[in-house]
Amino acid sequence: MAQNAQVRTYLNYIGGVWQPASTGETEASMNPANRHDIVGCVQKSSAADLDAAVNAAEAARLSWRKLAGPARGDLLFKAANELERRLDEVAEVMTREMGKTLPEAKGETARGVAILRYYAGEGMRRTGDVIPSTDSAALMFTTRAPLGVVGVITPWNFPVAIPVWKIAPALIFGNTVVFKPAQESAVTAALLVECFHAAGLPAGVLNLVTGDGEAIGSGMSAHAGIHGITFTGSGRVGKQVGLAALARGAKYQLEMGGKNPIIVAEDADLELAVEATVSGGLRSTGQKCTATSRVIVHSAVYDEFKRKLLQKVEGIRVGDGLASDTWMGPCASEKQFHTVLSYIHTGIKEGGRLLAGGGQVQGLEDGYFLEPTVFEGITSEMTIAQEEIFGPVLALMKVDSFEEAIRLANDVQYGLSASVFTQDIGRMLTFIQDMDAGLVRVNAESAGVELQAPFGGMKFSSSGSREQGQAAIEFYTEIKTVFVKA
Ligand X SMILES: NC(=O)C1=CN([C@@H]2O[C@H](COP(=O)(O)OP(=O)(O)OC[C@H]3O[C@@H](n4cnc5c(N)ncnc54)[C@H](OP(=O)(O)O)[C@@H]3O)[C@@H](O)[C@H]2O)C=CC1
Ligand Y SMILES: O=C(O)CCC(=O)C(=O)O
Residues at the site binding ligand Y, with contacts judged by CB under 6 A:
157-158, 162, 232, 288-290, 447-449
Residue type, 380: S
Nearer Cβ to ligand Y (174/457) = 457
Other beta carbons less than 10 A from residue 449's beta carbon: 19
Task: Say which residues have a Cβ less than 8 Å from residue 385's Cβ, sequence separation at least 6.
Answer: 259, 294, 378, 379, 395, 397, 412
Binding mask 377-406 for ligand X (x = CB under 6 A): -----------x-x----------------
Rounded to whole angstroms, what are the CA distances from 83 to 18, 86, 165, 241, 398?
A: 18, 5, 14, 30, 46
Q: Report the candidate in 424, 366, 387, 373 with the shortest Cα–Cα distance to residue 260.
A: 387
By CB under 6 A, residue 23 contacts ligand X: no
Contact 375, 393 (CB under 8 A): yes
By CB under 6 A, residue 443 contacts ligand X: no
Contacts (CB under 6 A) with ligand X, residues 142-181: 153-157, 180
Nearer Cβ to ligand X (422/461) = 461
Q: Is 387 a catalytic residue?
A: no
Other beta carbons less than 10 A from residue 144's beta carbon: 16
Residue 317 Cα to chain centre, angstroms:
25
| Residue 290 interacting partner from ligand Y, ligand X, none (CB closer than 5 to 8 Å by kind) | ligand Y
Rounded Cα gap, residues 377 and 396, in angstroms: 7
CB of 280 to ligand X, least distance (A): 14
Nearer Cβ to ligand Y (288/459) = 288
Nearer Cβ to ligand Y (98/289) = 289
Helix (H, G, I), strand (E, B) or coil at 466: coil
The count of residues interacting with ligand X (CB under 6 A) is: 29
CB of 293 to ligand X, least distance (A): 10
Among 182, 209, 393, 409, binds ligand X (CB under 6 A): 182
CB of 377 to ligand X, least distance (A): 23
* Dihedral sign of CA atoms 230, 452, 64, 210 in order: positive
Contact 186, 29 (CB under 8 A): yes
| Residue 240 interacting partner from ligand Y, ligand X, none (CB closer than 5 to 8 Å by kind) | ligand X
CB of 114 to ligand Y, least distance (A): 12
In eight-state DSSP terms, residue 354 is E
* Among 122, 255, 371, 376, the one annotated catalytic: 255
> Which residues are catalytic, by number?
255
**Which positions lie near ligand X, rule CB under 6 A?**
153-157, 180, 182-184, 212-214, 217-218, 221, 232-234, 237, 240-241, 255-257, 289, 336, 339, 388, 390
